[in-house]
Amino acid sequence: MKPRTLGAHGGPAVSPLGLGCMGMSTSYGVPDDAESLRTLDRAAELGVTLLDTADAYGRGANEEFLGRWLHSRTASLRDGLVIATKFGLRHDAATGRVNAVDSSAAWVREACHASLRRLGTDRIDLYYLHRRDPAVPIEETVGAMAELVADGAVRSLGLSEVSPQTLRRAHAVHPISAIQLEYSLFTREVVEGEMLATCRELGIGIVAYSPLGRGMLTGALAARDELTAEDTRRRWPRFAEENIDRNLRLVRAVRAAAESIGCTPAQAVLAWLLGQGEDIVPIPGTKRRTYLEENTAAAGIKLSPDQLALLRTTVPDGAVAGERYPLAALERLGH
């Protein structure tokens, strides 16, 4: 796979498709450690170099899991990987739910060193602010993150789900290599427009999370009842009883378009994202080798302008039912 460089200011070169690791430990059903380890091995074999996690995923469990896998592999393999993690979300000790955002300078350093311990590594290749507390100046947060770069604990900096204005202010303090944003056929409004223009003006890469619409765009889900009791998507608006049937009709339109192209729905929507620009790197998540192999094959699909346009028309503006996050999580976005 031809690498893509995140940002124009010394950011890392990564595979065009990364791997989101969250679901290996939390959220999407019951974890399967053995299969997840095999999936990480297969990702390395296929040349996937960007592995994405966060200290919020399973309250550190996902970082620990990735760290155990790294520890069992050679140093040369580690040197070829770009390990990305995030900080800024705090959890309630009793419920385990996220209950606060902390982007203070003091928490930056504490959170980073805790992540380093869990990952069992001496540096984080790409360190993101996961969510921003609007009461803390972004200059304070990024200034503290820049100190971690100077110390060698972090190589490149990123932000997630901030406004274009905040991104500009942050970039003035220290070069931002990437911003992580939700971007898919189902969620285009977050990136397209002012954010995309700002990133391209400043030379900042876009890492697209949930590029498969949290799995819905793959076509693998036929009904809400197929989600297990442990699957957190049951709480998400687009999977709610009042919305899911409408959204699955859109998925069927995507499937028909993918069949006309000659690929799976997942491959079509990932190839569509890759076709939006060389500065965009999707990170589809999975804990299964079969889905990983299907997803990474999308990097070899070059869609024509007509095919790109066809896929866009399958999900008209405003057609998706439901917000992309529950209300409490929505309130943490875009600051």
Bridge-based pairing of strands 280-282 and 205-209 is parallel
CA dihedral for 65, 69, 72, 78, sign (positive or negative): negative
What is the gyration radius of the CA atoms in the chain, in angstroms? 19
User: Which residues carry out catalysis?
Assistant: 57
Query: What does the DSSP 8-state code read for residue 287?
Result: S
Residue 83 pairs with which residues in a beta bridge? 51
Q: What is the signed CA dihedral for 317, 318, 322, 326, rounded to 10 degrees? A: 70
Q: Is the CB of residue 291 less than 8 Å from the CB of residue 219?
A: no
With tokens 């200011």, the residue in question is 9
* Burial label, 243 (beta-carbon count in 10 A; 0-12, 13-18, 19+): middle
Orientation of helix 33-46 relative to helix 61-71, angle to 10°: 60
Residue pair 302/40 in contact by the 8 Å Cβ criterion:
no
Cα three-residue angle 59-12-301, rounded to 5 degrees: 95
Q: E strand or H helix at 205, and its extent? A: strand 205-209
Parallel, antiparallel or unpaired: strands 89-91 and 98-101 = antiparallel
Residues whose CB falls within 8 Å of the CB of residue 307, separated by 6 or more in sequence, listed in order: 257, 261
Cα–Cα dist 291/99, whole Å: 32
> From CA 51, how far away is CA 13, in angstroms rounded?
13
CA pair distance 288, 114, nearest whole angstrom: 28
